[in-house]
Structure 1
């Protein structure tokens, strides 16, 4: 089969000054994409800002013979996001790929977490995905082509101590993806999620060096670039790390119909084993499929 290429395509990668985003930007450029390297250049907790990291990645891309420009906008700032998109359109006249990668951490147990810390992380991860997506959406609709890759996490899908803010944002991104993948299908806009396991500055203090060495960001990037390609599926949650790849799905059990007459709390308790029985469980493609199951059960099916 032919190599996956991005010749003539334009990609925006947020949070691309280092770590995962940098590797995504470099690989897209190696495969022919023109790349916008977006990075606020702040610290891990979101404070501060500098264009130096993004500029350095641009220089790396140019040294490879590629084309790239840097952008220092915050993904939470409406005017900054609008400027990033205008800068891209003025430079190249189209946007084919958006990789929403930017993020910060403010980890604390929920008891010790301030609402400021909760809202800031939610804003950067969730709204920092929504705002760039909204800004490129009409452009992709008019082109009848777009590929969007959002970044989720096991902390959102399964939980992780001290990350209630981060986990809430990361699962919120999946809810966002699940709806806009339906809305984008008629215009050939595919949106997928990556759930990375990688050694970055956000994880360097959580694992020993020997493990971090096996979790290089570049081991995640092949999955991201595939999800950004013309051949990409839509609505997939791809987990990647250390060269391993897996697909995450949300399943619902078949459940049991308890009827309406005399329905009680005790009936739910007494039928819990049937409600939770994994036999026949399914991964639904939209909310209507779940509703259809309930209508079927009402009719005795």
Structure 2
């Protein structure tokens, strides 16, 4: 008996990394799985290859599970709608979508091209919209369903050279939150995961100094894609029916619950504020509670557990 017995799960980006490990684990936990992967490169923009998705689906079938494959792109709404239809036609239902599909086009913002900005926003943020929108009416009619989206500490905390990625990933947090709020009455849940894991995306990040080299080495040795998959699958279980609208992280054997923006401090001035009083009074009073400019590594400086 598995936690997903009788369920049908669509996993995007399922040909490699977190997506692959999630698809395999979902199948081991009893789900029928539609494995989607464009089969393209890390930067996107190529025609892709049906091989990776089908290879994972074949591995599931060889182990006694049920799986089908799809090699369309999450950037096209019609393609994601086809995935939903394929799941329904093949397996008769759809219960969850896990959406780790992504690309990277890193670069300092002052050097970032419009094409690199748009490509990352298109795959991550527009792709998440497509995934959410293509299934939400079916989920509402069925009065059940769950989404697992993927954010990043690049958006939650910040990493230099990833403005496009950070903007998209923080946008996904907002999208998931609203899906959770609007879906609550229909038993539709949505959560996001910020993964720490060694994948081909992480392997592509340039190592320019000793600090970043040590950070990459920590990820390579102590943070695996299969560890992230455990949480993604758990969030799809009916036993997690009270978990929605949350932001989680997975770092090695550590599961993290992130807080969400709420007021930290408030100051009122009965006569109203002007630029001079804001500068002389409000900013100094608030400054002890300002969030510093430290990157992800400053928030998680310790070795993975």
Q: Same fold (TM over 0.5)?
A: yes
Q: CA deviation at 1:210?
A: 6.2
Q: Which residue of 2 aligns with 1:187?
A: 186
* SS of aligned partner of 2:110: coil
- RMSD in angstroms over aligned alpha carbons? 1.6
Q: Give unmatched runs, 5+ long, in structure 1.
A: 279-301
What TM-score, normalized to structure 2? 0.86
The alignment status of 1:73 with 2:72, answered yes or no, reads yes
Cα distance between partner residues in 1 of 2:101 and 2:31? 20
Q: Which residue of 2 aligns with 1:38?
A: 36
Q: CA deviation at 1:4?
A: 5.4
Alpha-carbon contact 1:4-1:229 (below 8 Å) kept: no
Q: Which residue of 2 aligns with 1:174?
A: 173
Cα distance between partner residues in 2 of 1:185 and 1:277? 37
Structure scoring higher RCO (CA < 8 A, sep ≥ 6) equals: 2
Q: Which residue of 2 aligns with 1:240?
A: 250
What does the per-residue CA deviation read over 1:200-235, in whole Å, with 9 as the maximum and x for residues that have no partner? Answer: 001114455564021210111111112222133001
Q: CA deviation at 1:28?
A: 0.6
Alpha-carbon contact 2:197-2:219 (below 8 Å) kept: no
Q: Which residue of 2 aligns with 1:272?
A: 283
Q: CA deviation at 1:47?
A: 3.0
Alpha-carbon contact 1:258-1:267 (below 8 Å) kept: no
Cα distance between partner residues in 1 of 2:197 and 2:251? 6
The alignment status of 1:229 with 2:237, answered yes or no, reads yes
Counterpart of 1:12 (choices 10, 26, 31) is: 10
Q: Which residue of 1 aligns with 2:26?
A: 28
The alignment status of 1:249 with 2:238, answered yes or no, reads no
Q: Give unmatched runs, 5+ long, in structure 2.
A: 206-212, 290-305
Q: Which residue of 1 aligns with 2:302?
A: none
Cα distance between partner residues in 2 of 1:211 and 1:277? 32
What TM-score, normalized to structure 1? 0.87
Q: CA deviation at 1:254?
A: 3.6
Cα distance between partner residues in 2 of 1:113 and 1:273? 34
What does the per-residue CA deviation read over 1:55-104, in whole Å, with 9 as the maximum and x for residues that have no partner? Answer: 11001111221100000110011221121111111112211000111000
Cα distance between partner residues in 2 of 1:215 and 1:249? 22
Cα distance between partner residues in 2 of 1:13 and 1:163? 25
Q: Which residue of 1 aligns with 2:303?
A: none
* SS of aligned partner of 1:74: coil
* SS of aligned partner of 1:106: coil
Alpha-carbon contact 2:194-2:250 (below 8 Å) kept: yes
What does the per-residue CA deviation read over 1:26-67, in whole Å, with 9 as the maximum and x for residues that have no partner? Answer: 111001000000000000001320010001100111122110
* SS of aligned partner of 1:41: coil
Alpha-carbon contact 2:120-2:165 (below 8 Å) kept: yes
- Give every structure 1 segment of 4 or more consecutive aligned residues whose post-TM-superposition deviation is greater than 3 Å: 205-211, 273-278
Q: CA deviation at 1:126?
A: 0.4
Alpha-carbon contact 1:255-1:274 (below 8 Å) kept: no
Alpha-carbon contact 1:253-1:277 (below 8 Å) kept: no
The alignment status of 1:103 with 2:102, answered yes or no, reads yes
